[in-house]
Amino acid sequence: MAKITPLLLGIGGDSGTGESTCAGGIYKIFGSEKITNINLDDDHTFDRAQRKTYCFTALHPAANNMSLMGKQARQKAPQEGPAEMAGG
């Protein structure tokens, strides 16, 4: 039996740069049953005006609630072994 290795892929970018479009293409290629999506758009610490004031982009760690992001990732992580995580 072939070994199945899970793949972690992160897509990041400023608003409107096509992250959702890219993710949609990945869903079409692999199928939603093999993907765990963790959307971090709602985890920003600052709104757009505040980020502009502080000269942060939405990608700057200080502009995001990293603790909440980690908690959400752990909650969504599959509890099965590697083969099941890859959809096998």
Give residue-wise pLDDT tens across range 33-86.
888 887 777 778 888 899 889 998 888 888 888 888 888 778 877 655 444 444
Spatial neighbors of 30 by CB under 8 A, at least 6 apart, are: 87
From the centroid of its chain, how far is CA 20?
Answer: 10
pLDDT of residue 26: 93
- Sorted by where each begins, the domain ranges of the chain are 39-78
Higher-confidence residue: 87 or 48?
48
pLDDT of residue 22: 93
Instruction: Place 28 in a pLDDT band, splitting at 50, 70 and 90.
Output: very high
